[in-house]
Amino acid sequence: MPSASDSAGALKDRTRLEWAADGAAVAALCIAAVVFLGGWLLGIEALRRIPLSAAEMKANTAVGIAAGATALLCLRRDGSRRQRAFAMGGAGLLAAIGALSALQWVFGFDFGIDLLLFADPTSGTSGNLPGRPALGTALAFVLIAFATWRLPRDSRRNRTASVAASALASLIAVGGALAQLVDERAFHDSMRFGVMAPPTAAALLLLAMALLAANLRRERSSARPTSPYTGFTLGLTFALGLLATLTWLDWRSDVRLQAASDWVVHTHEARAARYLLLAHILDIEVEQRSYLLTGLTQHRARLESAIDREAAQQRRLGELTLDEEQQATLKQVRPLVASLVDFARRTAAMRDTAGAAAAEREVAALEGDNPTAGIRAVLRSMDVRSDELLATRAGAALRETRNGRRILVVGTMLCGALLIAVFLQLLRETRLRRRSQEELDRFFTLSIDLLGIAGIDGHFRRLNPAFSQALGHDAASLLERPFLDFVHPDDQAATRAEMAKLDRGEPTLAFENRYRCRDGSWRWISWRVHPFLAEGLLYATARDVTAQRRGSEDLQEAVRRLAIANSELESFSYSVSHDLRAPLRSIDGFSQILLEEHAAQLDEEGRSHLGRVRAAAQRMGLLIDDLLQLSRVARTPLIRRETDLSALAAELLAELRRGEPDRAVEFDIEPGLVALADANLLRIALGNLLGNAWKFTRQRNPARIRLRAERADGRTTYRLEDNGAGFDMAYAARLFTPFQRLHSSREFEGTGIGLAIVARIVRRHGGDIRAEGELDRGATFAFSLKSDDAGSRSEDPTS
């Protein structure tokens, strides 16, 4: 289990190690395959058959393994197309050998590929067809080729297929290796589809493992990881397959051991049966002699009984004797016994008719040719043969016992290893799971957002601490009651409707309701909830949006007030425009009437005073008009269009010239100045600027007014220069403030609002304006209109 600090570096090291390991394995496979092929090429059996008692590796198998190893070697890096093509070629060759060999086995075809490369001089010794790889090998080849073919494709399905195929191939290899444990020629002979050579099994296992490792590596670096269950399923299948193989081998070994033991027992039974037969034969002899000696009828009866028992025993022995040779030998016993029985009966009858002496003579006459001795000899020869059989059968039993023991040990070890592997994997999974659980728990606890799980039944099941912190209730009281109890009465209907939606499986993406806090206040909570209907659970993340709600309410209030203020300002301007001017008109009008109608009653001074009254009234009218214009400039919407500044300036100057046709003024206007600007506002601004220039150059002869553009840093600055009265730069900042004048109105008339209007128009266009000047040396007004470089993208910030 890697520690928390397990960095990418450690992972890299591990990966490098794995690379080295399976690179070495695959390279070793290539070399081994070449060595085996050399064994075929040079005809050295020791190179093909390791160990010598085992099955040999076929030439095609060696070629296939070489092809498979080469393909894997080529695929080790995500190399060029050529490398990949080469790899696919190797896999194709492997698949062809495997598939063709398997078809030959299953359907009994002969495509003639078995002996294509080399003749097989050791044909037919072990149930194998000459030169043909075992069926297991062929199938493993096909599987490995498939796994190799799928390997470079990075998708979950491909990876699963590749892993499954290599796992199956390794299972076959393990089966082949296990079969080597059965130390018995007869077993190998009995394998219908050939026997895998031990090096083949090892090579297949290595190939399959290398493929599994490659897949694991890809899995780790893949963006689309396989479900862990795939690995578990494969492992389980593998373990079950291994157990099944072991069980079969063990069962088979046991059956054979039983059979061998039965044989041994049977051999002993047969021997016992022969001794019993001999005993009955001796009984016949004894009873015959006893009768001859005593003449007692009981001996005569016993003789007959012994004859019967002997016959029965002879039948039984016949049944027990299965060996053909023994049966033939046993047949020699029958005439001998028959003559013995016949002799016994004959002498007994002779004693009854001719007397005991005659019978004894008859017996003595036979001594030299006693059938009993013959029978003994025959039975003894059967014993000798029986001993031979016993030795063979006991040997077989011993071998089976040994096989069984071996399978038991290896099987137990494999199962143990598998158990350990499974245990380690489980341990790792458990730790990983616990760790990810801990991680989740920490995030759950740390989260600023409210996280919770609720049941469809309307109760919270689990809540993070943020919930308690936001609402002030402790977790237990939140879990205890339905959450609707905490919802604001006005929001309950909407909350119910949202719950109904969730109940239908529709997620909640943005829903806000109010929750009651412990102190009785309400907090706005914004919800994002996903229902998991199968579990009957709702997973919710939520956020306390009370502050935002309050903020947005404040904002709306501010906007509303601003709108009111604006409309008030508008009606104020309107009233100013109307009502302030009316009295001025009266002042001016009646002053004029006084001057006209009552001039006679006024002296010169009175008329002069009335003149000043009229001038003041008119000046106030101008001030009002200018102020109105200043406010209107800020209020009217800005509509940008391509506006020809040069043409506009020329037009305005022509107007000014019409007003004072006698003045000598030289214009120098750069042609083709086009700006994206509001034409009406620009006309007002330029009108003011040009009006100023016209006005302040009144004492110059000739007066010069010049308009040109400067482009720097993608920004166009328009410069309007004159050679007029200029101003002191110390007061430059005051120029653009309303009512601030740098010249007395006696010198130059004006309200002091014009430049404020200009500045406001320029700023509404996103530009800025500055003034440069020197007293009596002229003034320059430089302004920019942002739209020039930003184009139509720039929006008016105030409208």
Partner 1 sequence: MSSTRVILLVEDNPDDEALTLRALTKNRIANEVVVARDGVEALDYLFGTGAFAGRNPADRPQVVLLDLNLPRLGGLEVLRRLRAEPATATIPVVVLTSSKEDRDLVDSYRLGANSYVRKPVDFVEFVEAARQLGLYWLVLNEAPIGEGPR
Q: Which amino acid is at 293?
A: L
Rounded Cα–Cα distance for residues 264 and 257 (Å): 11
**What DSSP letter does each residue of 304-352 carry, written as one string?**
HHHHHHHHHHHHHHHHH--SHHHHHHHHHHHHHHHHHHHHHHHHHHHHH
| Shortest distance (Å) from residue 549 CB to partner 1 | 38
Please state, in angstroms and rounded to a whole number, the distance separating the CA atoms of residues 685 and 755: 8
Under 8 Å CB-to-CB from 480, ≥6 apart: which residues?
Answer: none
By the rule CB under 8 A, 401 interacts with partner 1: no
Cα 784 from Cα 677, distance rounded (Å): 11
**d(Cα 217, Cα 234) in Å, to the nearest integer?**
17
The answer to whether the CB of 135 falls within 8 A of the CB of 77 is no
For 733-754, the DSSP string reads GGGGSTT--SS-TTTS---S-H
Contact window for partner 1 (CB under 8 A) among 57-65, 235-243, 330-338, 576-584: 576-584
Min dist CB 632 to partner 1, Å, is: 8
Single out the segment in contact with partner 1 by CB under 8 A; choices: 88-96, 101-109, 130-138, 610-618: 610-618
Q: Provide the terminal-to-terminal Cα distance of the chain, rounded to the nearest Å.
A: 64
Tokens for 681? 């506002």
Which of 504, 578, 746, 793 touches partner 1 by CB under 8 A?
A: 578
Task: Tell me the closest approach of the beta carbon of residue 799 to partner 1, in angstroms.
Answer: 16
Angle at CA of residue 70, ends 68 and 73, nearest 5°: 110
Residue 604 binds partner 1, judged by CB under 8 A: no
Of 174 and 685, the one with the shorter C-beta distance to partner 1 is: 685
Q: Which of 258, 412, 567, 618 binds partner 1 (CB under 8 A)?
A: 618
Q: Is 628 in the site for partner 1 (CB under 8 A)?
A: yes
Whether the Cβ atoms of residue 320 and residue 269 lie closer than 8 Å to each other: yes
Q: Does 579 bind partner 1 (CB under 8 A)?
A: yes
Task: Determine the distance from the C-alpha atom of residue 668 to the mean position of all C-alpha atoms in its chain, rounded to a whole number.
Answer: 73
For residue 80, the number of C-alpha atoms closer than 13 Å in the C-beta half-sphere is 3
* CA–centroid distance for 266 within its chain: 65
User: CA 444, CA 548: separation in Å to the nearest integer?
Assistant: 23
Task: Supply the minimum distance, in Å, between the C-beta of residue 598 and partner 1.
Answer: 14
Nearer to partner 1, 10 or 622 (CB): 622
Kind of pairing, strands 703-712 and 665-669?
Answer: parallel
CB of 608 to partner 1, least distance (A): 17
Query: 66 with 102: CB under 8 angstroms?
Result: no
| Closer Cβ to partner 1, 285 or 626, answer by number | 626
Helix or strand run (H / E) with residue 667 = strand 665-669
Minimal distance in Å, beta carbon 681 to partner 1?
13
Residues between 582 and 601 that touch partner 1 (CB under 8 A): 582-586, 588-593
Residue 155 or 586 having the CB closest to partner 1:
586
Residue reference for tokens 């050998």? 97
**Residue with Cβ nearer partner 1 (296 or 599):** 599
CA pair distance 482, 480, nearest whole angstrom = 7
What's the closest the beta carbon of residue 710 comes to partner 1, in angstroms? Answer: 35
Query: Considering the complex, what minimum distance in angstroms separates the CB of residue 757 from partner 1?
Result: 15
Q: Which is nearer to partner 1, 62 or 617 (CB)?
A: 617
Q: Does 768 participate in binding partner 1 (rule CB under 8 A)?
A: no
Nearest of 59, 72, 62 to residue 25 by alpha carbon: 72
What is the DSSP pairing of strand 769-774 with strand 778-784? antiparallel
Closest CA to 638 of 759, 791, 757, 766: 766
The smaller minimum CB distance to partner 1, of residues 425 and 680, is found at 680
Closest CB 498 distance from partner 1, rounded Å: 48
Under rule CB under 8 A, residue 659 binds partner 1: no
Q: How far is the CB of 622 from partner 1 (least distance, A)?
A: 8
Residues 6+ positions from 795 with CB-CB distance below 8 Å:
none
Candidates 2-10, 98-106, 463-471, 579-587 — which segment interacts with partner 1 by CB under 8 A?
A: 579-587
Which lies closer to partner 1 via its Cβ, residue 380 or residue 585? Answer: 585
Q: Which is nearer to partner 1, 359 or 617 (CB)?
A: 617
Asked whether position 683 contacts partner 1 by CB under 8 A, the answer is no
Select the span of 56-64, 268-276, 557-565, 570-578 touching partner 1 (CB under 8 A). 570-578
For 486, residues 6+ apart whose C-beta sits below 8 A from its C-beta are 471, 473, 478, 515, 516
Give yes or no for residue 574 binding partner 1 (CB under 8 A): yes
Give CA–CA dist 71/84, Å, rounded. 8
Q: Judged by CB under 8 A, which stretch of 171-179, 180-188, 340-348, 611-619 contacts partner 1? A: 611-619
Q: Is the peptide bond before 465 cis (omega within 30 degrees of 0)?
A: no
Asked if 267 and 390 touch (Cβ cutoff 8 Å), the reply is yes
The residue among 114 and 588 lying less far from partner 1, judged by its C-beta, is: 588
Answer for which of 261, 577, 646, 780 binds partner 1 (CB under 8 A) is: 577
Please identify which residue in 292, 306, 336, 617 interacts with partner 1, judged by CB under 8 A. 617
N residues, the chain: 799
CA distances, 286 to each of 280, 353, 364, 372, 574 (Å)? 10, 21, 15, 12, 163
Give yes or no for residue 620 binding partner 1 (CB under 8 A): yes
Stretch that binds partner 1, among 218-226, 450-458, 473-481, 612-620 (CB under 8 A): 612-620
* Piece of 145-153, 462-470, 615-623, 744-752 that binds partner 1 (CB under 8 A): 615-623
* Residue 625 touches partner 1, criterion: CB under 8 A: yes
Binding mask 629-658 for partner 1 (x = CB under 8 A): ---x---x----------------------
Q: Which two tokens stand for residue 686?
A: 């330029």
Question: How many residues bind to partner 1 according to rule CB under 8 A?
Answer: 26
613 binds partner 1 (CB under 8 A): no
Closer residue to partner 1 (CB): 459 or 581: 581
Identify the three-state secondary structure at position 154. coil
In the complex, least distance from residue 741 CB atom to partner 1, rounded to whole angstroms: 21
Distance CA 166, CA 75 (A): 15
Write down the least CB distance from residue 583 to partner 1, Å.
8
- Closer CB to partner 1, 319 or 596, in the complex: 596
Q: How far is the CB of 636 from partner 1 (least distance, A)?
A: 8
What is the nearest approach in angstroms of partner 1 to the Cβ of residue 591? 8
The 3-state DSSP composition of the chain as helix, strand, coil percent (nearest 5) reads 70, 10, 20
Q: What's the order of all strands across the beta sheet hosting 703-712?
A: 665-669, 703-712, 715-722, 778-784, 769-774
- Chain positions contacting partner 1, by CB under 8 A: 573-574, 577-579, 581-586, 588-593, 614, 617-618, 620-621, 625, 628, 632, 636
